[in-house]
Amino acid sequence: MLNQGLGSWIHRRRVKSHGKVALIGGGHEITYEKLDEKVNQLAHALRDRGIAKGDRVAYLGENHPAFLEVFYATTELGAIFVPLNTRLAAPELHYMLEDSGSRILIHAADLADVAQRAAVGLDSVMLITADSEGTNKSPGLDDFRAERPTSFIDVEVTENDPAIILYTSGTTGHPKGAVLLHRNLIWNTMNALVDYDITSSEVALLIGPMFHVAALGMGAFPVLTKGGTLILETVFDPARVLHLVETHRVSMLSGVPTTFQLLCEHPDFTSTDMSSVRTITCGGSPMPMRVLETYEKRGMSFTGAYGMTETSPGATSLSPKYSRTKAGSAGLPHFFTDLRVIREDGTTAGAGEIGEILIRGKNVIDEYWNRPDASRDSFIDGDWFRSGDMGYFDDDGFLFIADRLKDMIISGGENIYPAEVEQLIVELEQISGVALIGVPDEKWGEVPWAIVTVKPGTTTSLDEIRAHLDGRLARYKLPKNLIIVDEFPRTGSGKIRKAELRKQFASPAGA
């Protein structure tokens, strides 16, 4: 077979998993044979539309079989898949479509309006509706691929060809497209199979959205590679999740701390049969001890994880057997991945010494899309990726995250980069300065607060700032509180000391 990438994986799996259900979602159960046929038909339709190796195909939608069908059909042709975050505003999506040069945008029916607004001015972008019959402006996906052959199209694809462009918020205001090669995704899948002991009998319920690399890279790809079954949920509803776990005998769950907190706080949690659950993976931020203890009382334990889009996403994992003795740790490096912690001068830090975390492995990206400057600045000593996170190894080699070198805020598993929000807030005439910081929150882990200074004789309000941002940014990025100060603490060079602001306002006393 010429295709050595992920685009051939469903075709390779169909005979090995004959008769087995691959996907449950969107009101359907799809076997591996049927999935292969649907993927191949879509690949033929895309090729007939002119999509070839290296072209970009974007997808905007929540978890649904069409998401994976589009991914595998796109990569079957050697083209590049561009998943888009459904929580973003139309201007943000427009930038990603234009920057990636996507030629087709396949979107969920309920996102038709934002998809059309995102594509305004991009005349070369064709819109297709994923989960309905579509409209004149956007034909339905099933009609688009109807009557096409079900045969596999074997295009030469190597492991060093791009598979996905996944946008990650930029510290300078514009998101960067991380180019995930087939090699990155293959070796990340290998890491997941080894360290999470995924089996062919796995039934994995994907709570997190697949437009984030965690659900895709640590859930969908390894489970389908082993011939397991994926249950795809469009929205997170604790009652429904508990029902699905019991009904389908779910063996694998993944999510962020907020997900598992809402599950265990639901009235049905104690009465739901969860004895089938074998693996629970949690990432994004540390798991609160009270939530951990609630699951332990039911005989369940967590696998911790640390990573990022640029590592496809796995960097480390913490086995459940260490959840107590190494509480707070991000774990050990994945089997095929290496980590270092360095001092400011680039030398390797000792055990217990905080420094910047570097990551190396075949799961780590080589570059950002059309951003040679960011690509160059993201690596040190050749192939060591600069995570931007600060941490240390203990004497046993377990990684602990100490702080973020960058000012990223993680709210409910979503990344918020302050610069992107700040540059819009400062557009307001009365705002003379702004700093966005993350403040601890019981439900979301962190939420953004805006600290501002205003021009003499003026004032502003939280409602005014949120109204200015609404429709231009995803709502989770909008500040939840506003603090007006007389002046900011600054460095000698004039930069705002955000660490001091966090200490003052994000501490239990300040918050």
User: Is 237 strand, coil or helix?
Assistant: coil
Strand ranges in 193-258 using DSSP code E only, listed in sequence order: 203-206, 229-232, 252-255
For the chain, domains (ranges, CATH) are 6-296 (3.40.50.12780), 302-404 (2.30.38.10), 409-505 (3.30.300.30)
CA distance 501 to 495: 12
CA distance 247 to 238: 14
Question: pTM for the whole thing?
Answer: 0.89
Consecutive H or E run containing 455: none
User: Is 387 strand, coil or helix?
Assistant: strand
Q: What angle do CA 246, 252, 256 make, to 5 degrees?
A: 105
Residue with tokens 């596999």: 152
Strand ranges in 102-212 using DSSP code E only, listed in sequence order: 104-107, 126-129, 162-168, 176-181, 203-206
The two three-digit tokens of residue 394, written as one number: 């203990």
Per residue of the chain (511 residues), give pLDDT as tens: 999 999 999 999 999 999 999 999 999 999 999 999 999 999 999 999 999 999 999 999 999 999 999 999 999 999 999 999 999 999 999 999 999 999 999 999 999 999 999 999 999 999 999 988 888 889 999 999 999 999 999 999 999 999 999 998 655 568 899 999 999 999 999 999 999 999 999 999 999 999 999 999 999 999 999 999 999 999 999 999 999 999 999 999 998 888 898 999 999 999 999 999 999 998 877 777 888 899 999 999 899 999 999 999 999 999 999 988 998 899 999 999 999 999 989 999 999 999 999 999 999 999 999 999 999 999 999 899 999 998 999 999 999 988 776 778 889 988 888 888 998 999 999 998 999 999 999 889 999 999 999 999 999 999 999 999 999 999 999 999 999 999 999 866 567 888 899 989 876 545 5
The two three-digit tokens of residue 249, written as one number: 């005998």
Which tens digits make up the pLDDT trace of 80-112?
999 999 999 999 999 999 999 999 999 999 999
Are the C-beta atoms of 495 and 487 separated by less than 8 Å? no
Consecutive H or E run containing 159: none
Strand ranges in 285-428 using DSSP code E only, listed in sequence order: 302-307, 314-318, 332-333, 337-342, 355-361, 379-380, 384-393, 399-404, 409-411, 414-416
Number of H helices, E strands in the chain: 16, 25
CA distance 376 to 395: 32
Nearest CA to 192 among 316, 69, 287, 358?
Answer: 316
